[in-house]
Structure 1
Amino acid sequence: MMDNLRAAGNHVVLKIILGLIILSFVLTGVGNYLIGGNSDYAAKVNGHEISRGELEQAFNTERNRQQQMLGDQFSQLASNEGYMQQMRQQALSQLIDQALLDQYIKDLHMGISDDQVRDAIFNQQAFQTNGKFDNAKYNGLITSMGFTADQYAEALRKQLANQQLINAVANTDFMLKGETSKLVDLVAQQREIRQAIIDVNALAAKQTTTDDEISQYYQQHQSSFMAPEQFRVSYIKMDAASLQESASEADIQSWFDQHKADYSQPQRNRYSVIQTKTEADANAVLDALKKGEDFATLAKSKSIDPISARKGGDMGWLEPNTTPDELKNANLTEKGQLSGVIKSSVGFLIARLDDIQPEQVKPLSEVHDAVAEKVKQEKAVDAFYKMQQKVSEAASNDNESLAGAAEASGLKVVETDWFSQDSVPQDLDFDAVKQAIFNGGLVGQNGAPGNNSDIISVDGDRAFVLRISEHKPEAVKPLDQVKAQIADTLKHDKATQQAKEQANKLLADLNAGKQDVLQAAGLTLSASKTVDRNAQDPVAQSAFNLPQPVDNKPSWGVSEDMQGNVVLVALDKVSTGSMPQPQIDQMVKGVTQNNAQIAFEALLENLRKEAKIKYGAAAQMQ
């Protein structure tokens, strides 16, 4: 039961619902705000159209998420048309749910104020540097995603409204004190047990088997005695690290001269801006500045951008790749220089260049060792690729051995012992190498050696060329090889059956009040021990399925321990246990969250039932 409660508290769907993160919403879903409608729509929800573009973006987002999560396994799934169609339908279903929630929120008149939006932006860690809001980072991030400040704020407002609804549903469930107390008593309950073990291995040693029994078992279970496909492989391993050479001072200087940008910080400019809605307002601000009014004071009172206005218009330090085009095109080159009125996508701007940090380049002496290492690595990689070319040509020209490839590389051919897919030598344990060995392309007819492989690159700095020296296909092991194994299995099965029959007979006698039957059977009850529901021992778990003892007489049952022995269990006492308050709180939280999830799913189900949903052509796989 504790496992079920933990599962409730860690339910994936619930965590997704309750743990929505603002920035990840922006990165994956906010792009839908910028996609226009299309007559070839995906669905209409109570008249609201979900466009083909929205569906394509949601589908691609889910595809990218699964590709990152599953890695190489995803390529196999992606080739399954049914699987991709299912993913597409799931993406559309989520868009429909979102549309229904948006409409429901609107019907409830739930609103998010400008102050709530502003606070959410200021508190978002992605926009902070050293725990404080960084205006430059904020502008750079939303600009790189293709948003203006207004577009981002509107998307965020919608997301916060969603969270408000979700929290409202999630916080409605609770547990009464009496319910909590009863649940604690049940979960923390303890039981005192004794046990008598019937040793199955000891009984198995007394069993016998016949050749007919062994042969019959072999015929019926041949799939259990398969010898896996096996290989012996010859290979040459090339490693860029082994090809490193020393770097001359001339090489180091030349490389540094070509890569100075890697060791420099570009020029940075610091701007302040005042943003207005109209050109007339901007001209009025510009006139005031020319008359000597303070820029920061005007920014705080006149700018409609709440973020920069709060800091007196300061945008922070901006590098060329984070500077908006409007500021670049203003051609401000001197400290204190003021722009004219700048028309932008968010209104009109007045900008001032506050400070300039010129480009800074580290001297070679400061980075000499790092540059030398780079030169050595590049030389090694160059030699590595040249060696690969030679080995590839040699392996192609002499396709019946690796002798030519070994001569071209100056490396030795390595021969493996026999191995299967479950026992690949460590040196060959790479996905690309295993794919080449096990896909069948290098095996000749009737298991004979086939051709040399192409060059197989691994991790970018290692490469292999190989061939299958010998091959054994999957086959059933001969009876002689598995006869002893089958005999042991049959003896153990017979012993287990005998032990269960004995235990059931003893159980009937014990329940009838015959207390001396255990001694007569040569069995002894162990000392009493206390167990709880968290015990992993199957004997302890079985004790919680037994009825409570009556009149100081034990309650009896039969179980098996983790060694496969049959066990008679005596339940002597049931008592309530205790639970630390933090654990009680966590348990209650898990139960209430699970109930909240059920309520939220019920809300969505009701919204779907009452909605008019019409699917368009774009809902199908393209």
Structure 2
Amino acid sequence: MMDNLRAASNHVVLKIILGLIILSFVLTGVGNYLIGGNSDYAAKVNGQEISRAQLEQAFNNERNRQQQMLGEQFSQLASNDGYMQQIRQQALSQLVDQALLDAYIKDLHIDISDEQVKQAIFNQKAFQTNGKFDNAKYNGLISSMGYSADQYAEALRKQLSNQQLINAVANTDFMLKGETSKLVDLVSQKRDIRQATIDVNALVAKQSVTDDEINQYYQQHKSNFMAPEQFRVSYIKLDAASMQQNPSEAEVQSWYDQHKAEYSQPQRNRYSVIQTKTEADAEALLTQLKAGGDFAELAKTKSIDPISARKGGDMGWLEPATTPDELKNAGLTEKGQMSAVIKSSVGFLIVRLDDIQPEQVKPFAEVQSAVADKVKQEKGVDAFYKLQQKVSEAASNDNESLAGAEQASGLKATETNWFSHDSLPKELDFDAVKQAIFNGGLVGQNGAPGNNSDIISVDGDRAFVLRISEHKAEAVQPLEQVKAQISDTLKHEKAQQQAKAQADKLLADLKAGKQDALTVAGLTLSAATTVDRNAQDPVAQAAFNLPQPADNKPSWGVSEDMQGNVVLVAVDKVSTGSMPQAQIDEMVKGVTQNNAQLAFEALLQNLRKEAKIKYGAAAQMQ
């Protein structure tokens, strides 16, 4: 079957990015993938339902991924219903692919053992501290996401199964030695070329254009001569950092007294646990412990929690925020104290309090400087918001100038030079400020000044109030302003056409055996140079599109150089180069990986073709 798939994949042109096919389970919506459906389903794949909840989670994950990738551009795209529906359909397509892969994996009997799952958890960097697995960190993270250890392990098992299938497909492609040799010869090929250049700029000076030609070009290309919308803006900038004042010692002491919790480490407890499936098992173990049994040894051999069992039941240091309720409610207050059997959501527990680290508060003298900085900052922010209110009221009361706002703030307004959408002054380069300037709400009629803006808050406790003092709408530049530009363009076009016509005639003469054609035209061939496929020169690249020379005669063609000149190029010789072995290995690796990706896409296409897929109402919901 895989041979047929690989053969079919050779006809696929586009490279498939494998990462877009496989859904990410780890730390991104694992539990929701396990949620069952309801009547309002998104799709059914061979009878297996993809619920609305699964689609919403996948859609949110994909939207968040694109928002991180696109940044500010995403907010503009997100306003387009078609774009958001496209993301939704992409998320649904991935869920359908995953359902197909799940069934295929099951048919292939790909199994992931408990030990493999456990090792994958231990190897996750998100669960490590200083390069070592941290059980408390692991429990805290999955608990914060609302998942139990069993749910997380099952989702991870599914991901590992996917990866095993991917590896199986990826490892099926290879290149024969003869294929590699031919590819190396082709890629490393070198060509000896000569070239004769027809100078287009020299021909430009000989061209002439009429007023009618200029006017006709102007009428046909008016969109090329648009003057962009332009603005001049007056603004006042408020900055909390400039309003900071040094606090008194009494203010610093008072702030510290009210915020001691910020300079305290709460009490931390260290627990060990043994987890069992049944209450009877727990009671039997508790009896052994009371008779002097070794807690750590029993945890290693009897606890069904593989994570804590590995460390003899040790849960590590836990703060109140990360301590499970079962441990908090166990009533353990002294070192070495052991609980009775506790019923929990994961079975039955026996808990021992191993150690206590009391709450620790940093003394005022140690943090005085840091507290003073905070008080200074807060006072600046308070002053900033009070002044912001005054300036806002003044700008609103005197809406036809910034004079009132200047008086309220004690600051002089700054006026910009003319700028367009693409040349906004750096000082105003904030999304909220750009929105206020460019959305049209502050522009008066016929370019006259409009009203003052509201207070515009931006990052870092800064704010602006502004007004558009002058405005020019987008308009076509008058012909007289662009006449010289059009004349130069037309002359260059005529010179280019003349040069190409001359080159085509010379090419025909040279192919017909007229060896003196270049001399008659006043052109001279350059000395031969050797080029390879990596050359960026367009003449060199064109040389590799020409046939190989035959009968000791050059192969001729026409190209353009990087300056826009027309070039006659002669290929005199083709030779085989060489490549370092490391480069050959990397090339072969790239080819085989690409073929494997195509084979995987062919597998998915085949699974889709054979599957019964039905889409529900939730697939179209926004």
Secondary structure of 2:26's counterpart equals helix
Q: Within 5 Å, give how 1:197-596 maps onto structure 2.
A: 197-596=197-596
Contact 1:10 1:590 in 2 (8 A): no
Q: What does residue 147 of structure 1 align with?
A: 147
Q: Which residue, out of 6, 9, 13, partners 2:17?
A: 13
The AA in structure 2 aligned to 1:560 is: E
Note the C-alpha offset of 1:577. Answer: 1.6
- Distance between the aligned counterparts of 2:481 and 2:515, measured in 1? 48
Secondary structure of 1:28's counterpart equals coil
Tell me, which stretches of 5 or more residues in structure 1 are unaligned? 1-7
Secondary structure of 1:147's counterpart equals coil
Structure 2 CA distance for partners of 1:9 and 1:357, relative to 1, 3 Å? farther
The AA in structure 2 aligned to 1:186 is: L
1:538-570: CA deviation from partner (whole Å, max 9, x where unpaired): 111101011111233221111101111111111
Structure 2 CA distance for partners of 1:491 and 1:140, relative to 1, 3 Å? same
Secondary structure of 1:283's counterpart equals helix
The AA in structure 1 aligned to 2:607 is: L
Note the C-alpha offset of 1:428. Answer: 1.6
Q: What does residue 183 of structure 1 align with?
A: 183
1:74-94: CA deviation from partner (whole Å, max 9, x where unpaired): 333333333333322222222
Note the C-alpha offset of 1:581. Answer: 2.1
Contact 2:25 2:155 in 1 (8 A): no
Structure 2 CA distance for partners of 1:556 and 1:178, relative to 1, 3 Å? same
Q: What does residue 160 of structure 1 align with?
A: 160
Q: What does residue 7 of structure 2 align with?
A: none
1:334-381: CA deviation from partner (whole Å, max 9, x where unpaired): 111111101111111111111111122222322232222222211111
Q: What does residue 3 of structure 1 align with?
A: none
Q: What does residue 76 of structure 2 align with?
A: 76
The AA in structure 2 aligned to 1:614 is: K
Note the C-alpha offset of 1:9. Answer: 14
- Distance between the aligned counterparts of 1:33 and 1:552, measured in 2? 69
Structure 2 CA distance for partners of 1:616 and 1:10, relative to 1, 3 Å? closer
Note the C-alpha offset of 1:408. Answer: 0.3
Contact 2:273 2:352 in 1 (8 A): yes
Note the C-alpha offset of 1:444. Answer: 1.2
Note the C-alpha offset of 1:505. Answer: 1.6
The AA in structure 2 aligned to 1:544 is: F
- Distance between the aligned counterparts of 1:259 and 1:577, measured in 2? 73
Contact 1:9 1:587 in 2 (8 A): no
The AA in structure 1 aligned to 2:364 is: L
- Distance between the aligned counterparts of 2:117 and 2:13, measured in 1? 30
Structure 2 CA distance for partners of 1:170 and 1:29, relative to 1, 3 Å? farther
Q: What does residue 98 of structure 1 align with?
A: 98
Contact 2:38 2:51 in 1 (8 A): yes
Structure 2 CA distance for partners of 1:437 and 1:168, relative to 1, 3 Å? same
Identity of aligned residues (%): 84
Moved more, 507-516 or 340-349: 507-516
- Distance between the aligned counterparts of 2:20 and 2:124, measured in 1? 18
Contact 2:35 2:53 in 1 (8 A): yes
The AA in structure 2 aligned to 1:616 is: G
Note the C-alpha offset of 1:39. Answer: 2.2
Secondary structure of 1:26's counterpart equals coil
- Distance between the aligned counterparts of 1:487 and 1:456, measured in 2? 47
The AA in structure 2 aligned to 1:60 is: N
Contact 2:16 2:597 in 1 (8 A): no
Structure 2 CA distance for partners of 1:561 and 1:446, relative to 1, 3 Å? same
Scaled by the length of structure 1, what TM-score is found?
0.94
Q: What does residue 107 of structure 1 align with?
A: 107
The AA in structure 1 aligned to 2:138 is: Y
- Distance between the aligned counterparts of 2:33 and 2:548, measured in 1? 63
Structure 2 CA distance for partners of 1:154 and 1:46, relative to 1, 3 Å? same
Moved more, 416-425 or 390-399: 416-425
The AA in structure 1 aligned to 2:82 is: G
Secondary structure of 2:349's counterpart equals strand
- Distance between the aligned counterparts of 1:523 and 1:373, measured in 2? 76
Secondary structure of 2:421's counterpart equals coil
Scaled by the length of structure 2, what TM-score is found?
0.94
Contact 2:16 2:601 in 1 (8 A): no
Contact 1:17 1:166 in 2 (8 A): no
1:172-201: CA deviation from partner (whole Å, max 9, x where unpaired): 111111111111111111112121211111
Structure 2 CA distance for partners of 1:105 and 1:91, relative to 1, 3 Å? same
Structure 2 CA distance for partners of 1:527 and 1:261, relative to 1, 3 Å? farther
Q: What does residue 58 of structure 1 align with?
A: 58
RMSD value, Cα? 1.9
1:319-348: CA deviation from partner (whole Å, max 9, x where unpaired): 111111111111211111111101111111
Report the number of matched residues: 611
Secondary structure of 1:407's counterpart equals helix
Contact 1:92 1:619 in 2 (8 A): yes
Moved more, 261-270 or 492-501: 261-270
Secondary structure of 1:39's counterpart equals coil
Note the C-alpha offset of 1:11. Answer: 5.6
- Distance between the aligned counterparts of 1:225 and 1:47, measured in 2? 60
Secondary structure of 1:27's counterpart equals coil
- Distance between the aligned counterparts of 1:50 and 1:56, measured in 2? 11
The AA in structure 2 aligned to 1:293 is: G
Secondary structure of 1:525's counterpart equals coil
Secondary structure of 1:391's counterpart equals helix
Moved more, 585-594 or 478-487: 585-594
Q: Within 5 Å, give how 1:30-41 maps onto structure 2.
A: 30-41=30-41
- Distance between the aligned counterparts of 1:68 and 1:612, measured in 2? 35
Moved more, 537-546 or 210-219: 210-219
Q: What does residue 171 of structure 1 align with?
A: 171
- Distance between the aligned counterparts of 2:426 and 2:225, measured in 1? 26
Note the C-alpha offset of 1:16. Answer: 4.3
Note the C-alpha offset of 1:395. Answer: 0.5
- Distance between the aligned counterparts of 1:551 and 1:518, measured in 2? 21
Contact 1:271 1:355 in 2 (8 A): yes
- Distance between the aligned counterparts of 2:383 and 2:569, measured in 1? 72
- Distance between the aligned counterparts of 1:581 and 1:551, measured in 2? 34
Note the C-alpha offset of 1:484. Answer: 1.1
Q: What does residue 126 of structure 1 align with?
A: 126
- Distance between the aligned counterparts of 1:434 and 1:541, measured in 2? 44
Moved more, 157-166 or 257-266: 257-266
1:517-546: CA deviation from partner (whole Å, max 9, x where unpaired): 323322222222221112211111101011
- Distance between the aligned counterparts of 1:40 and 1:232, measured in 2? 54
1:410-466: CA deviation from partner (whole Å, max 9, x where unpaired): 000111222211222222222221211111111111221111011111213221111
Note the C-alpha offset of 1:17. Answer: 5.1
Contact 2:267 2:360 in 1 (8 A): yes
